[in-house]
Amino acid sequence: MSKRRVLFLCNANSARSLMGEVLLRHMAGDRFEAFSAGTEPDEPHALTLEALAKQGLSIEGLHSKSLDEFENESFDYVIVLCDKAQQACREWQGAAGERLYWDIRDPRLISKLDAYEQALQEIRRRMQLWLLLPAFDKQQ
């Protein structure tokens, strides 16, 4: 069985979408290929990297990417993590089997480590539930 491709999308690709990419690789990398991008990419935020490392998650090679880099690619799922990216996603030319919207509060607006840790935990909780869906049964 080939791995399903998932793209996490947010505005800057400096926090939430990077967290989604890292978490999916950690939690179900045997079943999914995880990617992330931003509509207006910035650098990974230092507190994002700190929150991920504090949870023992690998940040090796993690960097911000533009949604444009994935324009001609296809994904089984695109998971949008903010309203601003949801607007840009409508015009995106890449192919997505299914689009999901998980509106996670932007930790950059608070810029304290606990805001990044809270965002990470919220994404983890949603991902745990999402991975339980029958469509992801390992037998398929």
- Average predicted confidence (pLDDT) for the chain: 89
* Ranges of the chain whose pLDDT falls below 50: 139-140
CA distances from 59 to 25, 53, 55, 87, 112 (A): 11, 7, 11, 28, 19
Whole-number pLDDT of residue 114: 95
Specify the amino acid at residue 88: A
Residues 93/97/100/121 CA torsion (nearest 10 deg): -110
Distance CA 50, CA 67 (A): 24
Distance CA 11, CA 14 (A): 8
Whole-number pLDDT of residue 54: 96
Identify the CATH class of 4-136.
alpha beta
